């Protein structure tokens, strides 16, 4: 496995061969590794990037304390059969102030975007830039960041990117907690409580499968019952899968998305119906 830090070294390492590409912010867990395994089924060469992208963090978010574990990440990626790791320093990717941005549509200001203004503009901009650097034949993203995946798919379509975006199922611990780099912020007590978020989503799913149709009421109740046990929920939302719009009556392709805080840690999760 090659570890490269510069755009020119990456382009030399790939030498025109097209690869399956998995962008990450590092702090890798088994969920990322399942993305690498999926990538290997799409191309002989797998490229992973590791870059904590300042553009997608708000001023009061955890950019500075976001975990950076490059050596351990590289060991895991080598074991997972990744060919090239691209880990640029900040001034390699942003040698000058980034003044060109990819501006996503209104859906980027809802859900995560409501609580993280500018987040998806930062995501779309860095991902497009990474795409131009790697020029992959396919790119893979986790469904854990469901709204991110939806927005990037829409970006790929609207900007006519010449390769597909693949979504990979969320990996969970045996108690249901979605794997996340931010899980390491949780105290032991919080870690025990954390699977409640997924259980809430499952209960909502079961209620809808059982015929419940007052989505706004379901969202409110789920949020209130979670918050009654010490969470602070940003949103629990039942949306249409395709574009994350509020579903109309009888819509069947749904996803339930949630973001909630446990102590200082903000967790997100979702479940497709």
Residue 24 CA to residue 22 CA, distance in Å, equals 6
Which residue is it, tokens 């409501």?
114
Question: Where in the sequence numbering do the catalytic residues fall?
Answer: 32
Torsion, Cα 218 168 76 179, to 10 degrees, reads 10
| DSSP assignment string, 162-173 | SS-EEEEPPPB-
Interface residue with its own copies among 4, 123, 140, 155 (CB under 8 A) is 155
Check the annotation: does 232 bind a ligand.
no
In the list 22, 25, 111, 133, the residue contacting its own copies (rule: CB under 8 A) is: 133
Contact with its own copies (CB under 8 A): which of 48, 128, 139, 140? 128
Q: How far is the CB of 54 from its own copies (least distance, A)?
A: 15
Contact call for residues 165 and 141 (beta carbons, < 8 A): yes
Total chain residues near its own copies (CB under 8 A): 27
Burial of 100 (0-12, 13-18, 19+ CB in 10 A): exposed
**Between 48 and 171, CB nearer to its own copies:** 48
Query: Considering only residues 79, 159, 242, 245, which one is a binding residue for its own copies as defined by CB under 8 A?
Result: 159
Span of 33-41, 124-132, 245-253, 258-266 interacting with its own copies by CB under 8 A = 124-132
Residue 48 in contact with its own copies, rule: CB under 8 A: no
Would the annotation count 148 as a binding residue? yes
Quote the CA–CA distance of 208 and 203 in Å, as a whole number: 9
Site string for its own copies, 79-98 (x = CB under 8 A): --------------x--x-x
CA distances to 80, 119, 192, 253 from 29, rounded to whole Å, are 12, 22, 18, 29
| 100 counts as binding its own copies under rule CB under 8 A | yes
- Indicate whether 150 belongs to the interface with its own copies (CB under 8 A): no
Report the C-alpha gap between 122 and 127 in whole angstroms: 8
The reply to whether 160 sits near its own copies by the rule CB under 8 A is yes
182 is in an annotated binding site: yes
Taking the C-alpha atoms of residue 159 and residue 39, their distance in angstroms, rounded to an integer, is 23
Residue positions forming the annotated binding site for ATP = 25-32, 142-145, 171, 179-182
Q: Which residues bind its own copies (CB under 8 A)?
A: 7, 11, 93, 96, 98-106, 124, 128-129, 132-133, 135, 154-155, 157-162
């Amino acid at each position: 496995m090659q570890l490269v830090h510069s755009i020119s070294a990456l382009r030399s390492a790939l030498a025109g061969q097209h690869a399956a590409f998995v962008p990450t912010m590092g702090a890798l867990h088994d969920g990322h590794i399942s993305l690498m395994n999926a990538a290997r089924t799409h191309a002989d060469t797998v490229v992973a990037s590791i870059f904590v992208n300042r553009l997608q963090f708000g001023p009061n978010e955890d950019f500075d304390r976001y975990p950076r574990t490059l050596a351990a990440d590289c060991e895991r990626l080598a074991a997972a059969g990744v060919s090239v790791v691209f880990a640029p320093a900040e001034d390699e990717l942003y040698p000058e102030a980034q003044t060109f941005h990819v501006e996503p549509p209104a859906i980027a200001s809802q859900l995560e975007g409501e609580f993280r203004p500018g987040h998806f503009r930062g995501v779309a901009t860095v991902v497009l830039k990474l795409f131009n650097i790697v020029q992959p034949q396919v790119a893979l993203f986790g469904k854990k960041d469901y709204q991110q995946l939806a927005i990037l798919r829409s970006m790929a379509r609207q900007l006519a990117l010449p390769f597909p975006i693949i979504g990979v199922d969320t990996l969970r611990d045996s108690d249901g907690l979605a794997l996340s780099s931010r899980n390491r912020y949780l105290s032991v007590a919080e870690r025990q409580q954390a699977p409640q978020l997924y259980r809430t989503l499952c209960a909502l799913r079961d209620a809808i499968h059982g015929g419940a149709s007052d989505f706004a009421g379901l969202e409110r109740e789920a949020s209130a019952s979670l918050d009654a046990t010490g969470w602070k929920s940003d949103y629990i939302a039942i949306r249409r899968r395709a574009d994350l719009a509020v579903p109309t009556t009888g819509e069947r392709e749904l996803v339930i998305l949630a973001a909630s805080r446990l102590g200082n840690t903000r967790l997100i999760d979702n479940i497709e119906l």
